[in-house]
Amino acid sequence: MDMPVSRTIPASHTDSKPLATWAAVASVGIGAFALVTTEFLPVGLLPMIAADLGISEGTAGLMVTTPGFLAAITAPMTLGFAARFDRKHVLVALLMLLAFSNAIVATAQGFTALMVGRVLLGIAVGGFWTIGGSLGPRLRPGAEGPRATALIFSGVSLGTVAGVPAGSLIGDLFGWRTAFLLVSGVALLVVGALQLLLPAIRAQKSSGLKQVPDVLRLRRIRIGLTAAVLIFVGQFAAYTYITPFLIDAAGIDTGTLSMVLLGYGAAGFAGNLFGGWAAGRNFVSALIGTAFLIAVSVAGLLLAGNNMLVAIAWVAAWGFGFGMLPIAMQTFLFSSAPDRLESIAALFVSIAQLAIGLGALIGGIAVDGFGVPSALWLGAASALLTTGLIASTSKIH
């Protein structure tokens, strides 16, 4: 029999004492910043990397796609390899691996070494988000859990808004290798912070690869993961082609475009923080709200015509909505099985990473067949379907 589910954090978690300080939570967030910056750093440096190593830009683009697919594979595998190890030690090891991967890339003299570094990055990304992405409710239980998760995930937005542009600037001034070395240094600083600030964190008794099938038997988990596939496929089908749309349909010149996209990222950072607060109050409403805001924003952008100011406003609203999404989605999923956070995180990371790649692929097919606006319509429709799915099944446990 289906039972109604509370839309706020379970009482058993509300009564728990905090395991760590907010400074410790922030150190995990800075680790997320280093990971995201590293993952997407090649985007602004591809021409330099390709020219330096004598490879095509298309081949250099594998630096971006390879870590994503590796992360999708290694996220659930982390549960098996990490077993009962102290989660603090696991995070430290993963960030050491991040620093090592960047050092390999920075000193690479050929394509093989370059890809070895990026494969190691993919392992670090999948492992970090499985362990670190699920720590918020454990480090700051109860109503503070979503806020802790938001602080950790703010590293994603900050990496997008500041890390990647800063890396590109450093690459322009001092060379692309310097940019990777500096991020490696940031990762080592985070390792030191984690050693000082993070307490010992035992593995949950129900953690492990064998628990994943049990988690998938929970109907609300299956609904949440289906919603994640829908909205992430739609998001990246649309966002992948936002640049040509803004140039062709909204008449935004290339100089203004970078500021518009920076605004999208800044709004995403604000949405990330707001999402933590909203999910702490009512995680179902937060997820419905973020999906609906994305749907309306993308549709509004499509209908803005060549009105540049209106288009910019809708882009900012879209960024705000997407910034809320990871927090709202994870809180929704975590609420279904608070004793199996790592298993849920592993599933979410794998599905999200695969959905990102699938979304870009489907968006490309739509663009080739029906034009750029079709990819954005696909994104709006997917977000609206997600809204309806969560709203119609929010009482299912």
User: For residue 15, what pLDDT band results from cuts at 50, 70 and 90?
Assistant: very low
pLDDT, averaged across the chain:
83
Burial of 340 (0-12, 13-18, 19+ CB in 10 A): buried
| Residue 45 Cα distances to 119, 186, 241, 357, angstroms | 18, 19, 20, 21
The CATH classification number of 11-197 equals 1.20.1250.20
CA distance 148 to 22: 8
* Comparison of pLDDT for 131 and 79, the residue scoring more: 131
Q: What is the pLDDT of residues 18-30, one digit of tens each?
A: 677 899 999 999 9
Q: pLDDT value at position 287?
A: 93
Phi-psi region of 208 (alpha: psi -120 to 50; beta: other; left: phi over 0): left
CA distance 301 to 239: 12
Tell me the range of 143-152, 196-205, 371-380 where mean pLDDT is highest.
Answer: 371-380
* Comparison of pLDDT for 100 and 283, the residue scoring more: 100
CA distance 11 to 6: 10
Spatial CB neighbours of 259, under 8 Å, sequence gap ≥ 6: none
Entry pTM: 0.73
**Count of other CB atoms within 10 angstroms of residue 51:** 12
**What is the percent of the chain where pLDDT is above 70?**
89
**What's the average model confidence in pLDDT over 303-322?**
90
235: nearest Cα among 200, 211, 201, 271: 271
User: For residue 13, what pLDDT band results from cuts at 50, 70 and 90?
Assistant: very low
**What's the average model confidence in pLDDT over 277-298?**
92
Whether residue 242 contacts residue 312, with contact meaning beta carbons closer than 8 Å, is answered with no
Q: What is the pLDDT of residues 242-270, one digit of tens each?
A: 878 888 877 777 667 778 877 888 888 88
Burial of 213 (0-12, 13-18, 19+ CB in 10 A): exposed
Question: Any idea which fold 209-393 has?
Answer: Growth Hormone; Chain: A; (1.20.1250)
Q: What is the pLDDT of residues 33-81, one digit of tens each?
A: 999 888 878 866 777 888 899 988 777 877 877 887 888 888 888 877 7
Q: What is the DSSP letter of 385?
A: H
Spatial CB neighbours of 74, under 8 Å, sequence gap ≥ 6: 122, 123, 125, 126, 127
**Count of other CB atoms within 10 angstroms of residue 186:** 20
| Stretch among 117-121, 193-197, 275-279, 385-389 having the lowest mean pLDDT | 275-279
Q: Which sign, positive or negative, has the C-alpha torsion 205, 222, 82, 88?
A: negative
Q: Dihedral, CA atoms, 39, 41, 47, 49, nearest 10 degrees? A: -70
The reply to whether domains 11-197 and 209-393 share a CATH topology is: yes
**What's the average model confidence in pLDDT over 302-311?**
88
User: For residue 141, what pLDDT band results from cuts at 50, 70 and 90?
Assistant: confident
* Comparison of pLDDT for 206 and 226, the residue scoring more: 226
Q: pLDDT value at position 209?
A: 58
**What's the average model confidence in pLDDT over 95-122?**
94
Domain locations along the chain: 11-197, 209-393
Q: What is the pLDDT of residues 349-377, one digit of tens each?
A: 888 878 877 887 788 788 888 888 998 99
* Comparison of pLDDT for 239 and 176, the residue scoring more: 176
276-308 in b/e burial notation, b at 16+ Cβ within 10 A? bebbbebbbbbbbbbbbbbbbbbbbbbebeeeb
